[in-house]
Amino acid sequence: MSAGRRRALVGLGIGLALADSSVVTLALPDILRQFDVEIPQVAWVLTAYNLGLALAAVPAAYAARRRPRAAYALGTVVFAASSLLCGLAPSFGVLVGARCVQALGGALLVCAALDLLTAIDGSDARAVRTWAMAGVVGAALGPAAGGILTETLGWESIFLVQAPLALLTLVALVGLRATSVRGPAGRPHVPANLALLLISGALTAALFLLVLLLVDGWRIDPAVAGVIVTVLPAAAIVTGRFAHRFGASRARAASGAVLIAGGLGALGVLPGSDWRWTVAPQVLVGVGLGLSLSALTERALEGRSPQAVHGGWTIAARHAGVVIGLLLLTPIFTTALDTNENRALRAGAAAVLDSSIPPLEKLGLAQDVLAIVRAADREVPDVREAFVDRPRDEAYRTLEATLVDELDRAVTAAFSRPFLLAALLALAALLPIAWSRGKVSV
Amino acid sequence: MKTLAFLVSCLVAAALVATYVALGGTSYEPTPVANPCAPRPHHEPTGNDERIELVVLAAADAAACRLGVSREELVLALRSVDELDRLAAKEGKSRDELEQALRDGLVRAVTQAQDEDLIGGTTAGALRFAAEHLPLGLLLDLLRRGSSLLG
């Protein structure tokens, strides 16, 4: 088998494992409904995987460096088997448990892949570039791929599809010799890993909250939302191809962090509740992602041995960042949603009482809307349900549009604070990036 | 090159955020609700339904004004006794205070409607009796199904 094919297969494995940190983002509303859980709980489908990766990455990397082929094979089989279990999970608890096991397999697979790529390419630098780029592409494409699969085949298909794909990558091992790496591992590159943690925490907002805003907040079809959020990975992939022309790794990382902060800041001050406003911020975040993640990963690995162990540290840092982002931003969002929803509800009630629908319908409709909002309980309510059994004349249509607009504006504003906080996380990454000056030749 | 790329990034990021802010990105405010203590614009009712609406809304305005809440909050709380209790707890009032404000508001609105010849003396009397003597749950039910007030 040619080196190119082997590289593509191993890259696919890395992409699948790292895409899993965000692939279910668009499926969360469906999972939430199917298992009757709330937003803070459903976020554990993401958190469990990322936490598992963060905790398992470094031990997995130590294990992988001794027998990279066997570690990759074992990791892939565990990853594939637990993916199947996720797809067939009979309860929410089983799904979260299977996600933890999936993370263990993913950690072994991703860390071992770095040594395999070195064996395939015969060059540490090239292996690191491929490894980093496969991770960026996987993480960035995850939400879009997951959204399209959820809408066409159901959320379970996300996991059922990736199991055979993961197993397919084992073909790359046939006839491949990867030597074990012995000897003590040096200290991890703290500034680069800290910056990776902060950037990844910020990116959580872009990948998780943006999807939630589109699907749950603005009620955009998940498949359409999947297409909308492809802007971000497309920008990341295009940028990744030319990233090396933007200068040394530290400059790329700093520029990327600023662009991510700018994109997230813009998402925090969206002028309207229309998906088109998200395009420019997505481009900025995507370009920033393409510049910073690969640059920081290369910086964390540059001149350090063994590669797999330091690769493990970058995976741990990235996914610890995602977990911190989820744990930090989700409660801020749900609290803001509660507050804004109550304010919007009062404004909506005023709209109902002042509307031109038949007077004796007003109290009933206002209270039906209240019942829907109360029943939504920390989810975004769909006030259109109150109009399902009511006449479709002009007065009702106008009122429905007014209420939907009122709620849309409230929901959009509820996302503002977590996006702005995420922007601050991205800006905070500039500190370790500046601190890393002179630590590694660039 | 390094510095230039960083400066361009800063400029692009700042420009996008500034543009969105200039387009109203930070200006979320829910549509304001009217002060229940201020008089509403006069509206001539065209049928019984609208008469009842005016009485119920005037009652809600009067009660809301006394309680220091918006009419809309009070109307939403009329959904059930539990919702009323929730509003009372939120506003630091007792159930009795809220109930009395509602009853007084309805009596006041009925008297005003009678003075303006919106409703007849018999209806006004029945409504006043209901406002003063019906158990709260039943009164709320009547307010919700305003049509039954005029038969």
With contact defined as beta carbons under 8 Å apart, do A49 and A20 qualify?
yes
**Of A187-191, A314-318, B125-129, which one has max mean pLDDT?**
A314-318
With contact defined as beta carbons under 8 Å apart, do A334 and A40 qualify?
yes
CB-CB under 8 Å, A271 with B2: no
With contact defined as beta carbons under 8 Å apart, do A155 and A24 qualify?
yes
**Residues 6+ away with beta carbon under 8 Å from A105:** A17, A74, A75, A76, A77, A78, A79, A80, A81, A82
Distance CA A299, CA A201 (A): 19
**Residues 6+ away with beta carbon under 8 Å from B95:** B84, B85, B88
A202 vs B: CB within 8 A: no
Partners of B33 on chain A (C-beta within 8 Å) are 346-347, 349-350
Backbone φ/ψ region at A154: left (φ over 0), alpha (ψ -120 to 50), beta: left
Distance CA A174, CA A160 (A): 24
**Residues 6+ away with beta carbon under 8 Å from A244:** none
Which one of A231, A249, A255, A408 makes the best mutation probe of the B interface by having the most chain B beta carbons within 10 Å? Answer: A255
pLDDT of residue B9: 92
Q: What token pair was written down for A437?
A: 């000056």
CB-CB under 8 Å, B5 with A246: yes
pLDDT of residue A21: 80
pLDDT range class, residue A2, cuts 50, 70, 90: confident
Q: Amino acid identity of B150?
A: L
User: Does residue A436 have a pLDDT over 60?
Assistant: yes
Which one of B8, B76, B79 makes the best mutation probe of the A interface by having the most chain A beta carbons within 10 Å? Answer: B76
pLDDT of residue A187: 82
Distance CA A151, CA A226 (A): 9
Nearest one of A4, A394, A406, A6 to A168, comparing CA atoms: A6
Verify cis geometry, omega within 30 degrees of 0, for the bond prior to A306: yes
Q: What token pair was written down for A243?
A: 């990233």
With contact defined as beta carbons under 8 Å apart, do A200 and A257 qualify?
no
Partners of B26 on chain A (C-beta within 8 Å) are 269, 416
With contact defined as beta carbons under 8 Å apart, do A116 and A10 qualify?
yes
Q: Closest to B34 (Cβ–Cβ): which among A247, A350, A371?
A: A350
Nearest one of A369, A159, A375, A411 to A270, comparing CA atoms: A411
Between A33 and A244, the more confident residue is A33
CA-nearest residue of chain A to B28? A413
CB-CB under 8 Å, A367 with B79: yes
Q: Amino acid identity of A232?
A: L
User: Does residue B14 have a pLDDT over 80?
Assistant: yes
CB-CB under 8 Å, B33 with A347: yes
> Stretch B12-20: mean pLDDT, rounded?
95
pLDDT of residue A101: 96
Between A263 and A336, the more confident residue is A263
Distance CA A263, CA A143 (A): 18
pLDDT of residue A360: 65
Chain A, window 139-198: residues with a beta carbon less than 8 angstroms from a chain B beta carbon: none
Nearest one of B51, B49, B48, B65 to B105, comparing CA atoms: B65
Distance CA A76, CA A107 (A): 10
pTM score of the predicted model: 0.78
Helix B95-115 crosses helix B81-91 at what angle (to 10 degrees)? 110
Chain A, window 380-439: residues with a beta carbon less than 8 angstroms from a chain B beta carbon: 406, 409-410, 412-413, 416
HEC string of B85-146? HHHHHHHCCCHHHHHHHHHHHHHHHHHHHHHCCCCCHHHHHHHHHHHHHCCHHHHHHHHHCC
Nearest one of A14, A17, A111, A105 to A61, comparing CA atoms: A111
Chain A, window 23-82: residues with a beta carbon less than 8 angstroms from a chain B beta carbon: none
With contact defined as beta carbons under 8 Å apart, do B13 and A259 qualify?
yes
pLDDT of residue B150: 43
With contact defined as beta carbons under 8 Å apart, do A178 and A282 qualify?
no
A309 vs B: CB within 8 A: no
Q: Maximum distance among all alpha carbons in chain A?
A: 82
CA dist A266 → A284, B7, B22 (Å): 9, 18, 11
A262 vs B: CB within 8 A: yes
Q: What token pair was written down for A303?
A: 């001149």
Partners of A213 on chain B (C-beta within 8 Å) are none
CA-nearest residue of chain B to A265? B17
What is the distance in angstroms between the Cα of B30 and the nearest Cα belonging to chain A?
Answer: 6
Partners of A281 on chain B (C-beta within 8 Å) are 16
User: Does residue A63 have a pLDDT over 80?
Assistant: yes
Nearest one of A151, A2, A167, A174 to A75, comparing CA atoms: A167
Which one of B7, B11, B16, B148 makes the best mutation probe of the A interface by having the most chain A beta carbons within 10 Å? Answer: B16
User: Does residue B147 have a pLDDT over 50?
Assistant: no
Buried b (16+ CB within 10 A) or exposed e, A43-70: bbbbbbbbbbbbbbbbebbebbbebbbb
Q: Closest to B25 (Cβ–Cβ): which among A255, A269, A363?
A: A269
User: Does residue A385 have a pLDDT over 60?
Assistant: yes
User: Does residue A378 have a pLDDT over 70?
Assistant: no
With contact defined as beta carbons under 8 Å apart, do A200 and A318 qualify?
yes
pLDDT of residue A163: 93
Backbone angles phi, psi at B36, to 5 degrees: -70, -20
What is the distance in angstroms between the Cα of A85 and the nearest Cα belonging to chain B?
Answer: 43
Helix A279-301 crosses helix A307-353 at what angle (to 10 degrees)? 160
Which one of A299, A360, A377, A415 makes the best mutation probe of the B interface by having the most chain B beta carbons within 10 Å? Answer: A360
With contact defined as beta carbons under 8 Å apart, do A10 and A308 qualify?
no
Backbone φ/ψ region at A257: left (φ over 0), alpha (ψ -120 to 50), beta: alpha
pLDDT range class, residue B148, cuts 50, 70, 90: very low
Q: Amino acid identity of B123?
A: T
Chain A, window 355-374: residues with a beta carbon less than 8 angstroms from a chain B beta carbon: 358-360, 362-364, 366-367, 370-371
Nearest one of A279, A329, A367 to B19, comparing CA atoms: A279
pLDDT range class, residue A359, cuts 50, 70, 90: low
pLDDT of residue A54: 92
Nearest one of A38, A21, A22 to A338, comparing CA atoms: A38
With contact defined as beta carbons under 8 Å apart, do A270 and A277 qualify?
yes
Q: Is this prediction's ipTM beyond 0.90?
A: no
A138 vs B: CB within 8 A: no
**Residues 6+ away with beta carbon under 8 Å from A8:** none
3-state secondary structure of B79: coil
What is the distance in angstroms between the Cα of B54 and the nearest Cα belonging to chain A?
Answer: 9
What DSSP line would sit under A213-272, residue for residue? IIIIIS---HHHHHHHTTHHHHHHHHHHHHGGGG-SHHHHHHHHHHHHHHHHHHHHT-SS
CA dist A97 → A46, A54, A82, A103, B27 (Å): 12, 16, 9, 10, 43
Partners of B14 on chain A (C-beta within 8 Å) are 262
With contact defined as beta carbons under 8 Å apart, do A20 and A102 qualify?
yes
> Stretch B43-50: mean pLDDT, rounded?
71
pLDDT of residue B120: 82
Q: Closest to B31 (Cβ–Cβ): which among A347, A360, A412?
A: A347
Q: What token pair was written down for B33?
A: 């609700």
User: Does residue B96 have a pLDDT over 50?
Assistant: yes
Which range, of A23-32, A376-385, B120-129, averages the lowest pLDDT? A376-385
Which one of B28, B73, B118, B139 makes the best mutation probe of the A interface by having the most chain A beta carbons within 10 Å? Answer: B28
Partners of A248 on chain B (C-beta within 8 Å) are 2
